[in-house]
Amino acid sequence: MAEWRVFWVPRAGAHPGVRGALLEDWKDLEERQRSVGVKPGDPIFLAPDHRVDGLLGLYVQCGSFRRHTPETKRNYATDICLFLTFLWGRGVVWEQAVERDLEDFEHWRRFAPENPRLIGGSKWNRELAALTGMYAWAAGTGRIQRSPVATRQVAGPYGSVVAPVARAKNARGSNVHWLTPRAFRRWAEVGLRGHGRDGVVLPGWSGRLEDRNVAFVDLLYSSGMRRSEAGSLLVFEVPQRRLEGGRYCVGRIAAAVTRSKKPRTFYVASGVVGEIETYVDSSRALAVRRAQQAGRYEGLGEVRIVTDVLGGVRPTVRWRDRSGAGGERRLTDLAVADRMTLYTEGQHGLEPLWLWLNERGLPLWVDSWEGVFRTANDRCREVLTPPESRFRDPHRVYAPYATPHACRNSFALYMLVVLNHLMDRRFGLTPEERRDFRLLYGDPWRMVQDLLGHASRETTCSIYLAPVADLQLRALLAVADDADVPGPGSLDGVFARLARESEGIQDLDDLMLPALGGSA
């Protein structure tokens, strides 16, 4: 089947030697790209007859598309290609598409019996959002007369907004689930550490990159960070400042790598920080040394050699490139692509400042973590599912299943339970007494809002009290006695009850049996 394809403009020198060998007479290609506004990271759409779509090239240069995160750009470009391929099959170019084309496309994607891979409402809504943005730009700039995406006015929290008519109403987040602490421990032990059902490492397990993978997933589960946030950390951003009591460390996430484009504080268990430090001093250091000996860093095209990191209220990173030209940027403004180019002069030569490296000693792409989770899930299913239980009861699953976002969800569930436990221990309030306290005195945030005269709670929390927004969390975590903080194992009974009473919470007991009523 003839398909549209999408390619991505690489960063300068991202593939040293390749472009020069294939395009020997195009040595000024990068200059040509700059002259027409093409930037590294832009998608290029190629038709089945090998023509580049110039109009789509203009669309991906517009501000609305370039403001998307790299992940959203990749997803939207893939979604657009699917629609272009569908239109190609019926002899229609995308500028001539009408509402009926979009209706037929939705039917094929969601309902057609002959389609072996139907999608759900959430996936359709994302594809529809990609097409809505593309056609809104084309119609707004006069490239087409009318968008085939029918819209209507709907009521929103801040007034009426325009929404596509074809938006699915039954959309629900896929993979929205949680793992209890012991289910997560089992998933990591089997999927990442090579354990069998008996808890012993199986013969033949190599443990390749085990310390890196375990440290990363523990960071996600302990801190609630997103995959892109944790995956783009620099070595010197690993938290080292501990709260009182030493159980948790505090760090900062740069604005440029967050979804909201706002910096924020995160907390992570000190034991997880120790795992990261062990990785840095062991397998990471070995990968760096081997890369130095192989000369891999010397062959990279775009390298920024960091000369200084200025601390303070506005931490700033200073660097020089290979030509000696200097530059600097606030740490919080360094995007993922920028961070991958940062190196430092070590004892044996250049060393990447990107924390997570592949076996070749090069920065590991954030998207690559999906493969780590996928492999661990496959291993858990293979090892933990009894052969006699396969294909019998689809609702009784023996193997835990994790995704980066499931770690974030699980962190929220864990902190909710732990903070309620700490509230009881630190202040001696029963649930009834806590409810009476709130009824008598009101919510503290609402009280401050009233004192400041704000009509919006958001203004109070996000602007006026942003520096102390985590004050209650900090006070509860900074305990003098570590014994006051419940360990993951001490609350297994609480999580087991939650798994029995709630949908989507995965829990496994010591016999690796799912909690009755839960979903492992």
Given a cut of 60, whether residue 442 has pLDDT beyond it is: no
Which is more confident, 377 or 518? 377
Given a cut of 90, whether residue 253 has pLDDT beyond it is: yes
| Three-state SS at 164 | strand
Does residue 291 contact residue 362 with C-beta atoms inside 8 Å? Answer: yes
Structure tokens, 400:
């835990």
Which is more confident, 129 or 462? 129
pLDDT at residue 483, rounded to an integer: 43
Structure tokens, 120:
């759900």
| Most confident among 323-327, 351-355, 466-470 (mean pLDDT) | 351-355
What SS3 string covers 305-316? EEEEEECCCCCE
The mean pLDDT value for 434-444 works out to 56
Which is more confident, 29 or 134? 134
Structure tokens, 33:
């790209």
pLDDT band at 16 (very low <50, low <70, confident <90, very high): very low
Read off the pTM: 0.76
**327 vs 35, 323, 334, CA distance in Å?**
23, 12, 12
Average pLDDT score over the chain: 82
Q: What b/e sequence results for 64-77 when a residue is b if at least 16 CB atoms lie within 10 Å of its CB, and e otherwise?
A: ebeebebeebbbbb
**For the residues of 277-311, what is the DSSP string, one character each?**
HHHIIIIIHHHHHHHHHHTTGGG-SS-EEEEEEE-
C-alpha span between 238 and 15 (Å, rounded)? 29
The secondary element (H helix, E strand) that includes residue 7 is: strand 5-8
The mean pLDDT value for 481-489 works out to 51
Judged on CB neighbours under 10 Å (0-12, 13-18, 19+), 414 is buried
Given a cut of 90, whether residue 28 has pLDDT beyond it is: no
| Most confident among 56-60, 203-207, 301-305 (mean pLDDT) | 56-60
User: Percent of the chain, pLDDT > 70?
Assistant: 74
Comparing 44-58, 244-258, 419-433, the range with the smallest average pLDDT is: 419-433
pLDDT at residue 423, rounded to an integer: 60
pLDDT at residue 417, rounded to an integer: 72
The secondary element (H helix, E strand) that includes residue 161 is: strand 159-164
pLDDT at residue 411, rounded to an integer: 85
pLDDT at residue 75, rounded to an integer: 93
pLDDT band at 398 (very low <50, low <70, confident <90, very high): confident
Which is more confident, 411 or 102? 102
Given a cut of 90, whether residue 430 has pLDDT beyond it is: no
pLDDT band at 456 (very low <50, low <70, confident <90, very high): low
User: Percent of the chain, pLDDT > 90?
Assistant: 51
Comparing 154-158, 438-442, 510-514, the range with the smallest average pLDDT is: 438-442
Which is more confident, 447 or 420? 420
The mean pLDDT value for 52-64 works out to 93
| Three-state SS at 389 | helix
pLDDT at residue 126, rounded to an integer: 93
Which is more confident, 244 or 327? 327
Judged on CB neighbours under 10 Å (0-12, 13-18, 19+), 104 is middle
Strand-pair partners of 345: 350
pLDDT at residue 219, rounded to an integer: 97
The secondary element (H helix, E strand) that includes residue 147 is: none
C-alpha span between 332 and 151 (Å, rounded)? 38
**For the residues of 313-365, what is the DSSP string, one character each?**
SS-EEEEE-TTS-EEEEEGGG--HHHHTTEEEEETTEEEE-BS-B-TTSSBPP
pLDDT at residue 484, rounded to an integer: 47
For the stretch 321-339, pLDDT in tens is 988 999 999 999 999 989 9
| Three-state SS at 178 | strand
pLDDT at residue 255, rounded to an integer: 93
Judged on CB neighbours under 10 Å (0-12, 13-18, 19+), 291 is buried
pLDDT band at 481 (very low <50, low <70, confident <90, very high): very low
Does residue 272 contact residue 215 with C-beta atoms inside 8 Å? Answer: yes
Given a cut of 60, whether residue 278 has pLDDT beyond it is: yes
| Three-state SS at 509 | coil
What SS3 string covers 54-94? HHHHHHCCCHHHHCCCHHHHHHHHHHHHHHHHHHHHCCCCH
Does residue 389 contact residue 314 with C-beta atoms inside 8 Å? Answer: no
Does residue 253 contact residue 264 with C-beta atoms inside 8 Å? Answer: yes
Given a cut of 70, whether residue 22 has pLDDT beyond it is: no
User: How many Cβ atoms sit within 10 Å of the Cβ of residue 507?
Assistant: 29
Comparing 25-39, 68-82, 314-328, 465-479, the range with the smallest average pLDDT is: 465-479
Does residue 517 contact residue 500 with C-beta atoms inside 8 Å? Answer: yes
User: How many Cβ atoms sit within 10 Å of the Cβ of residue 272?
Assistant: 23
C-alpha span between 130 and 110 (Å, rounded)? 16
The mean pLDDT value for 312-316 works out to 89
Structure tokens, 87:
């239109």
